[in-house]
């Protein structure tokens, strides 16, 4: 398993790239603070995942601490403030039909990644997932890299309808190292 962390030139005003080479499969991770202007406003979890689909990918499935750090290292400092609504969607979600029991509160095993990978990496913020239901009976089914002050991209479950920044994962053909 070889990882090559590459900082790609910033593209446009709302996206930064990071690449991971994992066992002959290459993934490009593109980080958006919002949807490009030509698309309808909003970047809730489903819209963000659909937009990643137009790029040939999905929201990001984080396979390792290296990938997590690579993504975090490519989030612009100004994006870590509330301009992206305090977080970035990733491809991790409680996909069980609603209503469902038990709650995923303190039960992160009920979350599923959208893209099959060889390994998966989780790094939840303290006291998360908490499945807060104060604003929706459905609870918090979608996972973000959380950038409320002090959280530094650790995972938090959040209401799926929130508009957030997001991270796309796009596979592409590459030469194995
Ligand atoms: Ca939460």
Residue 1: what pLDDT?
A: 31
Beta bridge partners of 31: 16, 167
Ligand 1 centroid – CA 19 distance (Å): 28
Question: What is the number of domains present in the chain?
Answer: 1
With a pLDDT cut of 70, the percent of the chain lying above it is 83
Domain containing residue 159: CATH number = 3.10.100.10
Question: What average pLDDT does the segment 94-109 reach?
Answer: 93
Residue 177: what pLDDT?
A: 59
Check pLDDT > 90 for residue 26: no
Buried b (16+ CB within 10 A) or exposed e, 65-76: ebbbebbbebbb
Residue 53 falls within a domain, yes or no? Answer: yes
Check pLDDT > 80 for residue 104: yes
Residues with CB under 5 Å of ion ligand 1 are 130, 140, 156-157
- Which residue range is the domain that position 75 belongs to? 6-172
Ligand 1 centroid – CA 167 distance (Å): 18
Residue with tokens 């080479």: 21
Q: Among candidates 83, 100, 3, 98, which has minimal Cα distance to 43?
A: 83
Local confidence band at 5 (pLDDT 50, 70, 90 cut-offs): very low
Ligand 1 centroid – CA 70 distance (Å): 23
Residue 166 falls within a domain, yes or no? Answer: yes
Residue 90 falls within a domain, yes or no? Answer: yes
Ligand 1 centroid – CA 173 distance (Å): 36
The torsion of the CA quartet 148, 84, 117, 27, rounded to 10 degrees, works out to -130
Residue 167 falls within a domain, yes or no? Answer: yes
Residue 1 falls within a domain, yes or no? Answer: no
Local confidence band at 43 (pLDDT 50, 70, 90 cut-offs): confident
The Cα 100–Cα 69 span in angstroms is 33
Backbone angles phi, psi at 101, to 5 degrees: -135, 150
Residue 156 falls within a domain, yes or no? Answer: yes
Ligand 1 centroid – CA 174 distance (Å): 37
Check pLDDT > 70 for residue 79: yes
Q: What is the pLDDT of residues 115-128, one digit of tens each?
A: 988 889 999 999 99
46 vs 17 pLDDT, higher one: 46
Residue 177 falls within a domain, yes or no? Answer: no
In the chain, helix, strand, coil percent, each to 5?
15, 25, 55
The Cα 40–Cα 165 span in angstroms is 14
Ligand 1 centroid – CA 50 distance (Å): 23
Residue 13 falls within a domain, yes or no? Answer: yes
């Amino acid at each position: 398993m070889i990882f090559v962390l590459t900082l790609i030139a910033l593209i446009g005003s709302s996206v930064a790239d990071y690449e991971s080479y994992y066992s002959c499969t290459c993934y490009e991770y593109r980080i958006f603070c919002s949807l490009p202007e030509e698309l309808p406003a909003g970047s809730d979890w489903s819209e963000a995942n659909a937009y990643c689909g137009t790029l040939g990918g999905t929201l990001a499935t984080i396979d390792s601490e290296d990938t997590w750090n690579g993504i975090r290292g490519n989030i612009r400092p100004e994006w870590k403030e509330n301009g992206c609504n305090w977080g970035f969607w990733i491809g991790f979600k409680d996909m069980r039909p609603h209503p469902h029991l038990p709650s995923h509160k303190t039960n992160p095993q009920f979350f599923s990644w959208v893209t099959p990978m060889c390994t998966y990496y989780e790094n939840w913020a303290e006291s998360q997932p908490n499945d807060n239901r104060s604003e929706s009976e459905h609870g918090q089914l979608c996972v973000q890299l959380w950038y409320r002050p002090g959280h530094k991209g650790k995972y938090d479950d959040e209401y799926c309808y929130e508009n957030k920044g997001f991270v796309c994962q796009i596979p592409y053909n590459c030469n194995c190292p």
